[in-house]
Structure 1
Amino acid sequence: MIRGFLQSKLISVGFLWIGYLLFLLIFMLIDVPFGTIAMISLAFIFIQLSWLITSFFYEKKRYEEMKQQMEKLEEICLLGEVLRKPKSLVEHKYYEAMMAVSQDAISRVEQSQRSAKEYKEYVEQWIHEIKTPLTAMSLILANEQDVWKLRRELKRADNLTDNILHYARLDSIEKDKQLKEHSLNAILNDVVKNQMDLLIASKMKVEIDGDANIYTDNKALQFIVNQLLTNSAKYCPGAKITMRVKGKELIYEDDGIGILSHELERITQRGYTGSNGRKLGTSTGMGLYIVAQLCKELHIELNIKSEHNSYTRFQLIFPNLTEM
Structure 2
Amino acid sequence: MKFSSFLKDRIAYTAVYIISTCAIILIMYLTLIINRLEFPINNIFYAFLVSIVFYIIFIMYDYYRNKSFYNQLNSILNSEKDLDYILNIGSPNNFEQAMFKKVLLKLYKLSGDKTIKYEEAHKQYMYFVNQWVHQMKTPVSVINLLLQEQVSEGQKEVFESISEENEKLAHGLDMMLYNARLNGFNLDFNVESFDIISIAREVINDNKKSMIRHHIFPKINTNKEISVQTDRKWIYFVINQIVINAIKYSKSDSEESKLITFEVSEEASKTTLSISDQGIGIPKEDLSRVFNAFFTGKNGRKTSESTGMGMYLAKKVCDNLGHGLLVKSTEGFGTTFSIVFHKGKNIFNL
TM-score by length of 1: 0.59
1:132-281 equivalences under 5 Å are 144-145=155-156, 150-210=162-222, 211-237=225-251, 238-247=257-266, 248-281=271-304
- Post-superposition Cα deviations, 1:175-229, rounded to whole Å, max 9, x if no partner, equal 2011111101111111101110011111112111234101111111111111111
Alignment length, in residue pairs? Answer: 222
Matched-pair contact (CA < 8 Å) for 1:244–1:252? yes
Q: How far 1:87 moved relative to its partner?
A: 5.6
- In the alignment, the residues of structure 2 paired with residue 284 and residue 110 of structure 1 have an alpha-carbon distance, to the nearest angstrom, of 27
- How far apart are the structure 1 equivalents of 2:303 and 2:116? 36
> Could you say if the C-alpha distance between residues 307 and 105 of structure 1 is closer, same or farther in structure 2, counting changes exceeding 3 Å?
farther
Structure 1 residue 282 and structure 2 residue 293: aligned?
Answer: no
Q: Secondary structure of 1:316's partner?
A: strand
Q: Secondary structure at the match of 1:252?
A: strand
Paired letter, 2:99: E
1:91-125 residue CA offsets vs partner (Å, 9 max, x unmatched) = 211213334555677899999999x9xxx9xx9xx
Offset at residue 282 of structure 1 (A):
2.9
User: In 1, distance between residues paired with 2:114 and 2:289?
Assistant: 29
Task: Indicate the structure whose relative CO is greater, using CA pairs within 8 Å and at least 6 residues apart.
Answer: 1
- Residue of structure 2 equivalent to 1:74: none
Mark the runs of 5 or more structure 2 residues left unpaired by the alignment. Answer: 1-93, 252-256
CA gap 1:311/1:113 in 2 versus in 1, 3 angstroms: farther
Cα offset for 1:251? 1.0
Instruction: Label 1:105 to 1:308 Cα distance change in 2 as closer, same or farther (>3 A).
Output: farther
**Paired position in structure 2 for 1:97:** 105
Q: Which amino acid aligns with 1:170?
A: L
Greater helix percent: which structure?
1
Residues 187, 277 of structure 1: alpha-carbon distance in 2 compared, 3 angstrom cutoff: same
What one-letter code is carried by the residue in structure 1 that aligns with 2:155?
Answer: E
Correspondence for 1:46: none
Q: Which amino acid aligns with 2:188?
A: D
Distance in 1 of aligned mates of 2:285 and 2:120 = 31
Amino acid in the other structure paired with 2:264: V
Structure 2 counterpart of 1:302: 325
Cα deviation for residue 268 of structure 1 reads: 1.0
Distance 1:108 1:271, change over 3 A: farther
- In the alignment, the residues of structure 1 paired with residue 306 and residue 97 of structure 2 have an alpha-carbon distance, to the nearest angstrom, of 58
SS state of the match for residue 274, structure 2?
strand
Matched to 1:291, the amino acid is A
Query: Structure 1: 5+ residue runs without aligned partners?
Result: 1-85
In structure 2, C-alpha distance between the alignment counterparts of 1:267 and 1:96, rounded to whole Å: 42
1:233-265: CA deviations, max 9, x gaps?
111115321110112110111121111111111
How many percent of aligned residue pairs carry the same amino acid? 24
Cα distance, 1:284–1:246 mapped onto 2, change above 3 Å: same
Cα deviation code 1:252-301 (max 9, x no counterpart)? 11121111111111111111111111101231111111101111111111
Answer whether contact 1:302 1:316 (CA < 8 A) is retained: yes
Query: CA separation in 1, counterparts of 2:279 and 2:119?
Result: 38
Write the deviation string for residues 144-181 of structure 1: whole angstroms up to 9, x where unpaired.
15565554443332222211111111101222011111
The answer as to whether partners of 1:155 and 1:197 remain within 8 angstroms in 2 is: no
Gap change, CA 1:240 and 1:215, over 3 Å in 2: same
Give the C-alpha shift of residue 322 in structure 1.
8.4
Instruction: State the AA in 2 paired with 1:218.
Output: R
Change (3 A) 1:107 1:267: farther
Q: TM-score, normalised by structure 2?
A: 0.55
CA distance in 1, matches of 2:334, 2:116: 42
Aligned residue in 2 for 1:3: none
